[in-house]
Structure 1
């Protein structure tokens, strides 16, 4: 069982690193402004933020509500500090919990999730560092037209592999959100760039479908 001291330490260090990361991120544009003595002013910055910030704020709020129950306290803090949750951290955590045969939201699941996210962050950092040092040598390979289709389908392949595992376990529950999303993307292809916003929509549809099936004794 988790102790109160563990929870308190997790929240303390989690908040510490969250705010540290926020300050470091804000220091980058501040350092550029100081170095080049270029201050855009409040109004231009506000106009620029109004075009993009609401989207990121919305996605950020949705990710908090959607992913924290899956990742647990420590995993969530670590994931949000290191970033790239949808594309990397969440799939790694879910796959690790699946292999360890533990449930998301359980104490065992939180431990496995935290280890998986930490390992993913370390591996990602090492790969990025190697990529920076070997950028000149790797550029021709990464820009190769032959490999472009593979890079374009990395994310669908990743989530497709995870979907097979979970759909095979609860295929009745998966029908409703799967049919809804397929029809939605066929009718409005431009929504393909808003996957993060649609994740909770699919989750709500799944919950609603599961409740209906449960009441009808179909699951």
Structure 2
């Protein structure tokens, strides 16, 4: 494929990704809203809309900034198609983003390129399908496995699953980019040790640490200390 044909293909791919993504995102949101409304209609009940609007406003004031920041931080890394899939299926930082990053490293693509957009979209799509399959199997096996899962012997292990998982995922990226990671890592660790209550606001602090990492990378790059 020559450069002209490649450019034309990439432009068509981007246009179709945005078109399908917008339609799919709209349909997905409508379906998410339709499920509880349909159940309420069948059961002859519904929410107190005044209380709902009041509660929604209180939550929106808190989370709209993190929503905007997540889009600004993650969309360039994921690309167009993967962003639409990720923002409707969720689990960005702990599932979709690591899958996209690993796929990019395996295929040797660069962020911001059409090749990376395609690879990220495929990896996020496969991740979503695998998640659905695993959850379906988990739901089917929940009743027979309940005595094992609720065993007092396994309780301490379940309490450390999430730290162990994220520690294993994070170490790889910290080690590869130690110059960039060291400042936010030290500051965030110190904050959580001194003020444990901040754990409840971890999503906002992730964005703050991301901004610090970007600032550190920019400073190191300008100083010529970043490879």
Same fold (TM over 0.5): yes
Q: Is this contact kept in 1: 2:66–2:207, CA < 8 A?
A: no
Distance 2:168 2:111 in 1: 18
Which residue of 133, 137, 142 maps to 2:144? Answer: 137
Runs of 4+ aligned structure 1 residues displaced above 4 Å come to: none
Distance 1:70 1:154 in 2: 27
- Structure 2 regions of 5+ residues with no counterpart? 1-5
Could you say which residue in structure 2 is the equivalent of 1:187? 194
1:119 aligned onto 2:126: yes
Q: Is this contact kept in 1: 2:37–2:46, CA < 8 A?
A: no
* 1:56 shift after superposition: 4.1
Distance 1:17 1:176 in 2: 39
- Aligned CA distance change for structure 1 residues 112 and 22 (closer, same or farther; 3 Å): same
- Aligned CA distance change for structure 1 residues 146 and 67 (closer, same or farther; 3 Å): farther
Could you say which residue in structure 2 is the equivalent of 1:74? 81
Could you say which residue in structure 2 is the equivalent of 1:108? 115
Q: TM-score, normalised by structure 2?
A: 0.85
Q: Is this contact kept in 2: 1:102–1:109, CA < 8 A?
A: yes
Q: Is this contact kept in 2: 1:79–1:89, CA < 8 A?
A: yes
Distance 1:15 1:153 in 2: 38
Q: Is this contact kept in 1: 2:10–2:114, CA < 8 A?
A: no
* Deviation by residue 1:42-69 (Cα, 9 ceiling, x = unmatched): 2111233234343443433222112111
Distance 1:138 1:54 in 2: 41
Q: Is this contact kept in 2: 1:177–1:202, CA < 8 A?
A: yes
Distance 2:72 2:159 in 1: 28
Judge which range, 132-141 or 6-15, deviates more. Answer: 132-141
Could you say which residue in structure 1 is the equivalent of 2:3? none
Q: Is this contact kept in 2: 1:131–1:138, CA < 8 A?
A: no
SS of the residue corresponding to residue 102 of structure 1 reads coil
SS of the residue corresponding to residue 170 of structure 2 reads helix
Q: TM-score, normalised by structure 1?
A: 0.88
1:151 aligned onto 2:135: no
Could you say which residue in structure 1 is the equivalent of 2:203? 196
Distance 1:159 1:145 in 2: 24
